[in-house]
Structure 1
């Protein structure tokens, strides 16, 4: 049965995507099942996406672009759609993160979102008991696309040693996550340090925070509490965050010694034979 539902294209990126998919499909004189056959999915899935009941993937969007000869319309639009699946309070930060030229972060509890594997991100997101876990994971994966740009941002991460030991997702997920962190040594754009337990009290005991630097805009500092995020360009706050981050970096192990610690934890706590790294995430 054909899915028919009137959409307001201005209601959301998902509604706009669905309306455009229906318009261009009908313009090509294809039924939902015929387009589904071309892009290797069911007519039902086409109908669900056209009626904004299902979030499209990037792979689906690329196939539809090829099938309908759109010149990449849906591949460009799907980024907005997936970003709209992030929590409302997080979306402004994600938009600024995508524009940043330099990102520095201290993470006290877990691996930074841009460096998470898909399975690790799924385990993290599941703790919030979301109704749309698959869509949330896809949104995190989309967020990580900034790392694959021709000119990605420089990212400097300080992880508390606790993040290496907390078994998020289980042994296999952690083994793959730490393998992924070690693999990032090949990138000149990402540097990872570990703040060891032996550092004791340090300048950011209050918790995690991110600092964003831009080519043409003021620096920003981002923090989170239990239910929301907070972003500010207040000069005093930015200066205080920079000072604290400098102290945290100074107390952390070097990049090389950090990699050695990550490898040791991976072998001693999560087994000696890491499985092939999963696709990296958001």
Structure 2
């Protein structure tokens, strides 16, 4: 198999960079040699970039971004890929969240990180395996601020499983504050919170939590696992996650009844 044919842009950001470098080059009707001349390197370097046998150098990414007016896309992707290599995938997620104009999310068992109060986040993280829960809480709050405190915040739609609302995390005081926070957020014009109730039964959301983020002119998906997250950037993969979101959305309670449900839960702690 040719090296380029073995690339999977949904599994690796470096593969994504390699695949799209070739796509952009061909869209601009440039040969590999022509691009090499513009970058000041030899033809084999371009070939290795496009097969991920050599990772695109930042100085070459900067030239490509200027030449093709990509608004710094290739340079930014290199930064994301390098941080992902270092295991800092949460930083990568935070940067995409901060740039997003629309965020759709599903979470079955806990309140999503972007919607958590500091006390709820601390209780949840201290019950888990985080090496430094306090630092992780601070990063989570910074993620929230980057999304909700900017001049033009994104449209946020959160679907929550019934367990996320009913599971007691941190005790009565913590749950009181968290439920009040969800009600407060649900009243914002750019935020919707909807709950999938127990009566919904089995549904596609039980496969696990996920997010769909609209960044620029495209959507990307993020799925969570026990130890780290995974980004999906291929349009077909993103579409599959979007279909899952729609199927869960179809069975979620509307905004008004969800708010009434949250208020009823809050009454249990007052």
Report the TM-score range of the alignment, normalised by the length of the smaller protein.
0.5 to 0.7
Pairs aligned (count):
186
Post-superposition offset of 1:195: 0.4
Give the secondary structure class of the aligned counterpart of 2:158. strand
1:194 aligned partner: 195
2:92 aligned partner: 92
Tell me, in whole angstroms, the C-alpha distance in 2 between the residues paired with 1:129 and 1:209: 20
Post-superposition offset of 1:202: 1.3
Unpaired runs of 5+ residues, structure 1, are 1-82, 274-282
Tell me, in whole angstroms, the C-alpha distance in 2 between the residues paired with 1:222 and 1:180: 24
Q: Does 1:163 align with 2:164?
A: yes
2:112 aligned partner: 112
Post-superposition offset of 1:112: 1.1
Post-superposition offset of 1:199: 0.7
Give the secondary structure class of the aligned counterpart of 2:212. strand
Give the secondary structure class of the aligned counterpart of 1:157. strand
TM-score w.r.t. structure 2 length?
0.65
Tell me, in whole angstroms, the C-alpha distance in 1 between the residues paired with 2:254 and 2:128: 34
Tell me, in whole angstroms, the C-alpha distance in 2 between the residues paired with 1:90 and 1:137: 12
Post-superposition offset of 1:89: 2.5
Tell me, in whole angstroms, the C-alpha distance in 1 between the residues paired with 2:191 and 2:242: 18
2:180 aligned partner: 179
2:227 aligned partner: 227
Tell me, in whole angstroms, the C-alpha distance in 1 between the residues paired with 2:219 and 2:130: 32
Does the C-alpha gap of structure 1 residues 234 and 262 become closer, same or farther in structure 2, counting only changes over 3 Å? same
Post-superposition offset of 1:228: 0.9
Tell me, in whole angstroms, the C-alpha distance in 1 between the residues paired with 2:246 and 2:129: 35
TM-score w.r.t. structure 1 length?
0.63
Post-superposition offset of 1:132: 2.5
Post-superposition offset of 1:124: 1.5
Comparing 180-189 with 130-139, which one deviates more in the overlay? 130-139
Give the secondary structure class of the aligned counterpart of 2:213. strand
Q: Deviations over 1:29-72 (max 9, x none)?
A: xxxxxxxxxxxxxxxxxxxxxxxxxxxxxxxxxxxxxxxxxxxx
1:125 aligned partner: 125
Unpaired runs of 5+ residues, structure 2, are 1-82
Does the C-alpha gap of structure 1 residues 215 and 131 become closer, same or farther in structure 2, counting only changes over 3 Å? closer
Alignment of 1:201-220 (within 5 A): 201-216=202-217, 218-220=218-220
Tell me, in whole angstroms, the C-alpha distance in 2 between the residues paired with 1:200 and 1:183: 28
Kindly report the root-mean-square deviation, in angstroms, between the aligned alpha carbons of the 2 structures.
1.9
